[in-house]
Structure 1
Amino acid sequence: MEFVATCPKGFERLLADELIALRVPQVRPLAGQVAFGGELADAYRTCLWSRLASRVLLVLARTGAADADELYEGVRALAWEDHVAPGATFAVSAHGTNAQLRNTHFVALRVKDAIADRLLAARGARAVADPARPDVTVVARLSGARVTVSVDLAGEPLFHRGYHARTESGVAPLRPDYAAALLAAGGWAQRAAGGDATLAALWPGQGSLLVEAAAAALDRAPGLLRARWGLEGWAGHDAAAWDALLAEADGRAEAGAARGVGLLAADGRAGAESACRGALRAAGLGCEARFCSPGELAAAARATEGRALVAADLSWLAPEALASEASALADLTAFAGAGSPVVALSRDEAPDAALRAAPATVTGVIVGRDEAAIRAYAASADAAAPAEVTLAGGARVPVLVAASEQFARRLEKVARLRAKWARREDVTCYRVYDADLPDYAVAIELYEGSETPGRWLQVSEYAAPRGVDPALARRRLMDAVSIAPRVLGVDPADVSVRVRTRARGGSQYADEGREPARGPRGGRASRQAGRVELPAGAHLVDEGGLTFEVNFDARHDCGIFLDHRETRARIREMMKRTQGSKRFLNLFAYTGTATVYAADGGAKHTTTVDLSRPSLDWARRNMARNGFTGPAHEFVQADVLAWVTEQRHTRNRWDLIFCDVPTFSNSARMRRASFDVQRDHAELIIGVSRLLVRGGCAIFSCNLRTFKPDVEKLARAGVALEDITDETIPEDFSRNRKIHHAYVVTRA
């Protein structure tokens, strides 16, 4: 008989080795599957014992499928009465397409019709299709002009082990077959066979690694917990052979329960430990795991003198979750040279740097939609010691790049100087480090809480220029993310990381990694701050005697641009000196911080305009939190460019206008196709100037580094510009004086 065991991409070699160990004959690894021959009992044994296979298929035939008619005739010619018993239900699962059969649903329908018509002709009764819970599942797999028709003996995926209960932990699960593959790549089966095996599991999540390791060590068949099998509804089922295999598996499990297995685990994610313990109980394995810190886990692994296997699941880290990855890799460095083999499931090569070793084998797999790999490292007690940076206070920080010590020294120095300046100037939110070292081109900003204690860091990095190894640049960034919170006294969980890529018109944020929303000191955010709502994940900070809401979880920018600190203070002073109607207009207002300053300067009427409704809601909260409410303060959701044009035809005029424009915008809600500040600024500035009262002025700002105003065109329109950029660059941005451009706009 001919069989196929399907599996995830990359598992083929591991699955083939597993089937050989199960004494399955004629094993041939193929793409996404492993073919084998033998008796029905061999397929049954694979169903019951394979930890890596997804399904086990009995191949019935291969027939032509150049078009729908040939497919129908070929399938109808098969003796389905030998496979679908009278009264049994069936379903068809189709895979693959060709030039004539381009829809898998249609392929499944034609196969279903062929089977039903064959059974109707043979029995005089039409078989019933049941896609939800069929007795027999037929699999049709197209390849070119041929189709392979099989019966699924598993019925549902074999990785549905039955021990994963619903959990509120929020910890990303690792599918059992992926956990088994990770263990197989590390040679766990051979270690377990020798008895007294120990697994040191880093980030076991919801427990798959622990359950799969314990089941293998205790000789427990992974299929023992399953209540339903596809083979039991198939007309050709050999019940005696199946019952014999089940009895054998029960006997082995009973005997294996006397074996010993050591399960050590480290996972600091909320709910991980309880989820792991729940999975072990649900699997009925009768063993427990000892949870400890990553450092204690590494020490325990060393104490086994090479008998332990270290398995690390890094697949839960999203590519943009740099803060989490930096913390995880810092933990992994403790296992460098621990004398035990290490296997890691990772989306990149970062574990190589953490372990200071090249992998002995690399098995490429797919996690979700991303490419990943199972990287296996041989046991070594003489691996290069992990690099560490010793900070001024004596704390040691593991790093991936030895040169990161230079970054740490520089950061410590500028942090001391910046902290003195901040205390002198009464500034609590400021930029600490601004790409002082070319290889560590990051900006680090510190935010201190006002009404509730807390300190948060925002780390931003420009993408590495061409010619720089992206992997090296990423490791440097992760080192910066590891070092910065320890130098600045911030909880590593309160670090927000952003990666910026160079885009048309300047740099834009491409990826942003954040921890889950947290409130002050790690709790959930308060829903009320006074009488103004404080959304979950938000915090309150002070600037210039005013209170503002920041949020490092929800947006690309945290809610306040620190480089405009001096500009906002200037707006307040200008408003204090303004006579008459004292009306203020904020265009492209974002969270309305400039509006708050203007109101604090005595503005009697403010208008805040932005296209984003969430930003306007945020601006309204900022105003209310500082005591500025009522009809004198209006918030307008509109396309700023179109709105300015409309207002020119009204009597509405303002004494002071602030216009901080984006570099580029192509929002679908804009009336025009796009906005480019270099191309369109003159038209916008002219329009803004027409909204000023006699003697009024505006501040125009943009952050395009190469921006050059069209002075001649503006002059022809009667508009004068005064460059005040140098006066608006704060001290903590002095290294990057092109962070923005600012101009006072008046009508000649």
Structure 2
Amino acid sequence: MSPLIFFASAPRNMGSLVAEELIKLGMRDATETRGGARFSGTLEDAYRACLWSRVANRILLPLTQSTVSGPDELYEAAREIHWEDHLTPESTFAIQFDGTLSGINHKHFAVLRVKDAIADRFAERFGRRPSVDPDDPDLRIHVFGHQDTAGISIDLSGQSLHLRGYREEGSAAPLKENLAAALLLRAGWPEIAAEGGALLDPMCGSGTLVIEGALIAADIAPGYMRQRFGFQGWSQHDEPTWQRLRDEARIRRDAGLGRLGSLRGYDLSSEAVRVSLHNLERAGLAGLAHFERRELTDCRPGRPEDEGLLIVNPPYGERLGDKGELPELYGRLGSVLKERFVGWRASIFTADPELGKCMGLRAQRMHSLYNGPIECRLLHFKVEPRYFVSNQPRPLPLEERSPGAKMLANRINKNLKALRKWQRDEDVSCLRVYDADLPEYALAVDIYEGEKRWVHVQEYAAPANVDPKRARHRLREALGLIPEVLEVPGEQVHFKVRRPQKGSSQYERLAETRHFHQVSEGGHRFLVNFEDYLDTGLFLDHRDVRRLIGTLAPGKRFLNLFGYTGTASVYAAKAGAVSTTTVDMSRTYLEWAASNLMLNKIQGEEHELVQADCLRWLDMMNGRRRFDLIFLDPPSFSTSKRMFGTLDIQRDHVGLIQSAMRLLEPGGDLIFSNNLRRFRIDLAGLSPLRVADISAETLPRDFARNPRIHNCWRIRRPES
């Protein structure tokens, strides 16, 4: 028997989550589509999806999909369906219509024409027709319209799957159960729960997040408490299969209840706590989670040793809360997290990401989801001091600073004085003024001059043998004196921790402020961002590499591989390159590159931006494109899922360079650069290419204290 095709409808922006969920349930071919996910399988698979999907709204069995231009064609399409295979004349049914259809102005009219088609087919064949029962039908039929296409399906779920059966009452503006489950899944709660982590919601409302968290942690099927599904009144229902799945779910539930850890919900409202406890009891989880009335300022872990996930849907001014009071509320939430939940993960669901900035924490990532019609963001945080915003950790006051701090101040001043004439003569406005010159203060300090002066401070991750408390103390000293020495307000100092790159970590977004600032370099203008990524968008150590490219570029066709924010392309274009092609896998970086090009009045189709995996693009372009000048500046490591393969620059550089050289015209130049400090170029593997090490001559004066900051070679074909 060939597999059946099913469709799992889902709330907006949750189709990929449903597809992932179905794959884990055994539906290996589940694929995200508009409005949900499509999958194939047996009737048992559909029953399993109804019982176990935490995110889907409905599980539909499509019967037909037809092109219709009006109500009569919809009627004919519906009448052609063998309804006698799904209903009896004694059955009742209801029809739900979603979407829009060309030629049909009212949903009720579409429902009426499908109802007439079913009734007429039964009357013609049996002389009797089933009845309509909109409230409690034996079978629900779903019609979906999009432009001139109508799909008609059996609704196997019946009522929406978000209705688990445990919630009778809700507090104001409650989250739907499947949205709450989606937030927990996106926040990584299943993995945290499996490791014994705690769950806490400090504004729990009707308790939905905590209860859904308990269902996930205890491996309880979300549909286990429902009294009825749509397929149970369907003529083809397989009761033995359904009972077997129910028995399996009961066994898993009984085993899982013993694994529950600490689950807590707090709320300012006594009524909300009462509703939460009632819903917990209806879910069969009485006594297995804790709810109590508690102010946000009194929020703390249940036990001092607890760590896990704090997740909250605070008011955001759309339904609850005075918008004028919300910044202060989010500020208090951030303070509570930083004071009492260090080591935890936190996820905040809000319709106003700007409010998230009031928390004083840098978001690691975010997801876009909808709460009904309201577009919201789920912001994810690691509650660790290194992710506290620029004024964190708090600087030490002057009287608490050590003699070492004075040495640091003296060294920065000494470096500034030594660089002053060079900086003026070379017209350098963005430069490095300190780079771990004193081992006790393992920082890199960069100045960026634009409409204001900004300072970008990066702490190198300390070795394991360094006492974290002493390192923390020295960091606070440094962050207290750097604004004074460099004469900038504290809010213009941005702090990050730089760790060795692993996998795709060099691309990890730290936040999404989209705060860009304009700076200049060598007569060019660039946009930098100090908050959203580890790097700012302008590699200062490549300043002289960019100048070299500008020197070589006039009249050349320039290719910028792993092009990042397009700064090298700007240099080439402004110097007179006849064309530039910038290739990068990141749409964000290419949009940034486009802004940099526009900022420098570089326009025209000859300046091309290509979103692609550079490895795959080089294979595709072999023999099809030629360039006179190529800049190849790959990351040290990359394991992005969008890549053709993984990239380890030490392992793969020979093949990568050879692939790029196949696109280089005779007599052309390839500039190859990377920042892997232990990198060793394989000259034998690159033979007979002419490889000249230009690392020293492309090392800017302000980086001379750390000559291994980058590697650079000029590569040409051998002369014939």
TM-score by length of 2: 0.51
Q: Which residue of 1 aligns with 2:198?
A: 198
Q: Which residue of 1 aligns with 2:43?
A: 40
Q: Deviations over 1:699-722 (max 9, x none)?
A: xxxxxxxxxxxxxxxxxxxxxxxx
The number of equivalent residue pairs is 387
Q: CA RMSD in A?
A: 2.7
Q: Which residue of 2 aligns with 1:496?
A: none
Shift of 1:59: 0.9
- 2:381 is aligned with what amino acid? Y
Aligned with residue 139 of structure 1, among 138, 142, 166: 142
- 1:335 is aligned with what amino acid? L
- 1:382 is aligned with what amino acid? R
- 1:189 is aligned with what amino acid? P
Where in structure 2 are the equivalents of 1:505-516 lying within 5 Å? none
Where in structure 2 are the equivalents of 1:68-217 lying within 5 Å? 68-166=71-169, 171-194=172-195, 196-217=196-217
Q: Which residue of 2 aligns with 1:271?
A: 271
Shift of 1:53: 0.9
State the secondary structure of the residue aligned to 1:173: coil
Shift of 1:293: 4.7
Where in structure 2 are the equivalents of 1:658-669 lying within 5 Å? none
Q: Indicate if the aligned counterparts of 1:266 and 1:297 stay in contact, CA closer than 8 A.
A: yes
Kindly indicate whether residue 71 of structure 2 is the aligned counterpart of residue 54 of structure 1: no
Relative to structure 1, is the Cα distance of residues 352 and 172 closer, same or farther in structure 2, using a 3 angstrom cutoff?
Answer: closer
**For structure 1, which segment, 145-154 or 266-275, has the greater mean C-alpha deviation from structure 2 after superposition?**
266-275
Q: Indicate if the aligned counterparts of 2:180 and 2:212 stay in contact, CA closer than 8 A.
A: yes
Kindly indicate whether residue 337 of structure 2 is the aligned counterpart of residue 335 of structure 1: yes
Q: Deviations over 1:181-204 (max 9, x none)?
A: 11111111222234x231021211
State the secondary structure of the residue aligned to 2:46: helix
Q: Which residue of 1 aligns with 2:350?
A: 346
Shift of 1:267: 1.8
Kindly indicate whether residue 361 of structure 2 is the aligned counterpart of residue 360 of structure 1: no
Relative to structure 1, is the Cα distance of residues 148 and 315 closer, same or farther in structure 2, using a 3 angstrom cutoff?
Answer: farther
CA distance in 1, matches of 2:75, 2:127: 19
Where in structure 2 are the equivalents of 1:401-420 lying within 5 Å? none
- 2:221 is aligned with what amino acid? A
CA distance in 1, matches of 2:172, 2:84: 47
Aligned with residue 28 of structure 1, among 21, 28, 31: 31
Aligned with residue 379 of structure 2, among 355, 369, 375: 375
State the secondary structure of the residue aligned to 2:235: coil
Q: Indicate if the aligned counterparts of 1:315 and 1:367 stay in contact, CA closer than 8 A.
A: no
- 2:344 is aligned with what amino acid? S
- 1:343 is aligned with what amino acid? S
Q: Deviations over 1:466-501 (max 9, x none)?
A: x99xxxxxxxxxxxxxxxxxxxxxxxxxxxxxxxxx
Q: Indicate if the aligned counterparts of 1:314 and 1:346 stay in contact, CA closer than 8 A.
A: yes
Shift of 1:317: 4.2
Shift of 1:372: 1.3
Q: Indicate if the aligned counterparts of 2:179 and 2:371 stay in contact, CA closer than 8 A.
A: no
CA distance in 2, matches of 1:164, 1:246: 21
State the secondary structure of the residue aligned to 1:264: strand
Shift of 1:381: 4.6
Identity within the alignment, %? 31
Q: Deviations over 1:358-382 (max 9, x none)?
A: 4333222232433212222345353
Q: Indicate if the aligned counterparts of 2:385 and 2:393 stay in contact, CA closer than 8 A.
A: no
Q: Which runs of 5+ in 1 are unaligned?
A: 391-466, 469-748
Shift of 1:161: 1.5
Shift of 1:137: 0.8
Relative to structure 1, is the Cα distance of residues 324 and 233 closer, same or farther in structure 2, using a 3 angstrom cutoff?
Answer: farther
Kindly indicate whether residue 256 of structure 2 is the aligned counterpart of residue 256 of structure 1: yes
State the secondary structure of the residue aligned to 1:106: helix
Shift of 1:272: 2.2
CA distance in 2, matches of 1:145, 1:369: 25
Relative to structure 1, is the Cα distance of residues 348 and 256 closer, same or farther in structure 2, using a 3 angstrom cutoff?
Answer: same
Q: Indicate if the aligned counterparts of 2:214 and 2:260 stay in contact, CA closer than 8 A.
A: no
CA distance in 1, matches of 2:273, 2:390: 28
- 1:180 is aligned with what amino acid? A
Shift of 1:11: 1.5
Shift of 1:97: 2.1
State the secondary structure of the residue aligned to 2:281: helix
Relative to structure 1, is the Cα distance of residues 290 and 233 closer, same or farther in structure 2, using a 3 angstrom cutoff?
Answer: closer
CA distance in 2, matches of 1:269, 1:162: 23
Shift of 1:120: 1.8
Shift of 1:233: 0.4
Larger Rg: 1
CA distance in 2, matches of 1:119, 1:374: 49
Q: Which residue of 2 aligns with 1:724?
A: none
CA distance in 2, matches of 1:324, 1:165: 31
Kindly indicate whether residue 231 of structure 2 is the aligned counterpart of residue 231 of structure 1: yes
Where in structure 2 are the equivalents of 1:332-731 lying within 5 Å? 332-333=333-334, 334-336=336-338, 338-350=342-354, 352-378=356-382, 380-384=384-388
- 2:327 is aligned with what amino acid? A
Q: Indicate if the aligned counterparts of 2:90 and 2:129 stay in contact, CA closer than 8 A.
A: no
Q: Indicate if the aligned counterparts of 1:314 and 1:345 stay in contact, CA closer than 8 A.
A: yes
Relative to structure 1, is the Cα distance of residues 250 and 11 closer, same or farther in structure 2, using a 3 angstrom cutoff?
Answer: same
CA distance in 1, matches of 2:392, 2:262: 30
- 2:43 is aligned with what amino acid? L
Q: Which residue of 2 aligns with 1:6?
A: 9
CA distance in 2, matches of 1:234, 1:228: 12
Shift of 1:301: 8.3
State the secondary structure of the residue aligned to 1:98: coil
State the secondary structure of the residue aligned to 2:249: helix
CA distance in 2, matches of 1:87, 1:289: 48
Q: Which residue of 1 aligns with 2:323?
A: 322
CA distance in 1, matches of 2:381, 2:87: 49
Q: Indicate if the aligned counterparts of 1:3 and 1:57 stay in contact, CA closer than 8 A.
A: yes
- 2:55 is aligned with what amino acid? L
CA distance in 2, matches of 1:384, 1:302: 21
Q: Which residue of 1 aligns with 2:561?
A: none
Q: Which residue of 1 aligns with 2:521?
A: none
Relative to structure 1, is the Cα distance of residues 197 and 212 closer, same or farther in structure 2, using a 3 angstrom cutoff?
Answer: same
- 2:125 is aligned with what amino acid? A
CA distance in 1, matches of 2:115, 2:29: 31
**For structure 1, which segment, 62-71 or 100-109, has the greater mean C-alpha deviation from structure 2 after superposition?**
62-71
Relative to structure 1, is the Cα distance of residues 353 and 316 closer, same or farther in structure 2, using a 3 angstrom cutoff?
Answer: closer
TM-score by length of 1: 0.49
Q: Indicate if the aligned counterparts of 1:161 and 1:222 stay in contact, CA closer than 8 A.
A: yes
CA distance in 1, matches of 2:333, 2:215: 25
State the secondary structure of the residue aligned to 1:37: strand
**For structure 1, which segment, 185-194 or 198-207, has the greater mean C-alpha deviation from structure 2 after superposition?**
185-194
State the secondary structure of the residue aligned to 1:339: coil
Q: Indicate if the aligned counterparts of 1:364 and 1:371 stay in contact, CA closer than 8 A.
A: yes
Shift of 1:250: 0.8
Q: Indicate if the aligned counterparts of 2:316 and 2:351 stay in contact, CA closer than 8 A.
A: no
CA distance in 2, matches of 1:378, 1:301: 19
Q: Which residue of 2 aligns with 1:289?
A: 290
Q: Indicate if the aligned counterparts of 1:312 and 1:345 stay in contact, CA closer than 8 A.
A: yes
Q: Deviations over 1:259-313 (max 9, x none)?
A: 1221123321342222222211111114131545545544558743xx4011011
CA distance in 1, matches of 2:378, 2:165: 25
Q: Indicate if the aligned counterparts of 1:301 and 1:340 stay in contact, CA closer than 8 A.
A: no
CA distance in 2, matches of 1:326, 1:164: 31
- 2:215 is aligned with what amino acid? A
- 1:104 is aligned with what amino acid? K
Relative to structure 1, is the Cα distance of residues 301 and 322 closer, same or farther in structure 2, using a 3 angstrom cutoff?
Answer: farther
Shift of 1:3: 1.0
